[in-house]
Structure 1
């Protein structure tokens, strides 16, 4: 009886936690990436900054036309500032109770869809626009004991296929949008559906392995 009361108290979150969750989802969703005015600070990419960009040529810190180990190193090095900034941002929103609100909000969705807890909801949202941020969050969830090894495997299977599908489709696939006979929205929905199917295939395999063991 006492354990039930304790768990109920843990699940109760205040209005501040829900506001923090809404703000964090907006920041990671990319909804305000192309916004004008002060509201554009509600996007993680805008908050990370555009250091290294040169005019309209599209060049950045990574450079252009490079190949080999140097190009790969600079690509990885370019992620460090954004990941460091996100880790600090994550700590702030965790203290505000955003993770507790996320667990309550996303539990009815993620548990039947992927078999993972609701605390993965923020990483689930961020995986649509960025693979590096979602990867950091998944690692944090596993190391803190919020998800098991099997749940991490299922979640990684979902993220890895069609990584950052919205961001990569809009940016990398922009030249194909004009000639594609299907609208952009259905293309993204098909990718998300395939990601869910792939993750559940891994989920079934893990379940069968547990039964054999």
Structure 2
């Protein structure tokens, strides 16, 4: 009882403000802003690498072209490090202010029936809208801290890997198809979310079926 009271007293208006900020920050709401509000967006602050102009006006990143093997893999890993480190740093601040406890409290009633995962995964779920790497890094952090189980990690990983960085990729790469599609622009986006949830629940029910089978086998051996 004392533990519950201590946890509840740690959730203040600052905790709710931190949680709200994290939702806005990782959601991409201000990704296309042209004024100072763009600093409230994760992808904007994450930035981009400079470009190198080569022969015939070709533009490359620091990785260049034609790479392969371990060396190119190392250069690729350098691209992944900034968003992951940056995202985990932001989450550490939000957690210190009680934002993750607010996520646990508010989002568990939604995520438990929808995906079978606790509400503490909420911010990672939102981060997955913009960045594959940031969402994955957050889940790793939650597992190491014991906030979610291995089975919950498997379910959420299934959700994340399908159409990862959904909003960012759809409104950047997908924009090339907007002039050709014959359905409302938001419909493919809705379908992607539908199949992300469907895939996660398929894995969720598979895990439950395996657990039930193991329980039956254990009882059978015991008899």
TM-score, structure 1 as length reference: 0.90
Cα distance per residue 1:19-65 (max 9 Å; x no partner): 111111111111111111211100111112233146997743333x4
1:87 deviation in Å? 2.1
What is the CA–CA distance in structure 2 between the aligned matches of 1:84 and 1:97, rounded to whole Å? 20
CA RMSD after TM alignment: 2.0
What is the CA–CA distance in structure 1 between the aligned matches of 2:80 and 2:52, rounded to whole Å? 18
Residue 128 of structure 2 contacts residue 134 of structure 2 at CA under 8 Å; is this kept in 1? yes
The verdict on how the C-alpha distance between 1:58 and 1:41 changes in structure 2, with shifts beyond 3 A counting, is: farther
2:210 corresponds in structure 1 to 209
Runs of 5+ unmatched residues, structure 1: none
Q: How does 1:29-108 map to 2 (within 5 A)?
A: 29-53=27-51, 59-63=60-64, 65-69=65-69, 70-108=71-109
The verdict on how the C-alpha distance between 1:57 and 1:100 changes in structure 2, with shifts beyond 3 A counting, is: farther
What is the CA–CA distance in structure 2 between the aligned matches of 1:59 and 1:177, rounded to whole Å? 27
What is the CA–CA distance in structure 2 between the aligned matches of 1:99 and 1:76, rounded to whole Å? 28
Residue 43 of structure 2 contacts residue 130 of structure 2 at CA under 8 Å; is this kept in 1? no
1:169 aligns with 2:186: no
1:112 corresponds in structure 2 to 113
What is the CA–CA distance in structure 1 between the aligned matches of 2:72 and 2:181, rounded to whole Å? 31
1:71 deviation in Å? 4.5
What is the CA–CA distance in structure 2 between the aligned matches of 1:58 and 1:23, rounded to whole Å? 36
Deviates more, 1:17-26 or 1:47-56: 47-56
Deviates more, 1:159-168 or 1:148-157: 159-168
What is the CA–CA distance in structure 1 between the aligned matches of 2:5 and 2:121, rounded to whole Å? 20
1:10 aligns with 2:20: no
The verdict on how the C-alpha distance between 1:60 and 1:33 changes in structure 2, with shifts beyond 3 A counting, is: farther
Cα distance per residue 1:166-201 (max 9 Å; x no partner): 111111222111101122211111011111111111
Secondary structure of 2:49's counterpart equals coil
Runs of 5+ unmatched residues, structure 2: 215-223
What is the CA–CA distance in structure 2 between the aligned matches of 1:174 and 1:96, rounded to whole Å? 38
What is the CA–CA distance in structure 2 between the aligned matches of 1:54 and 1:46, rounded to whole Å? 21
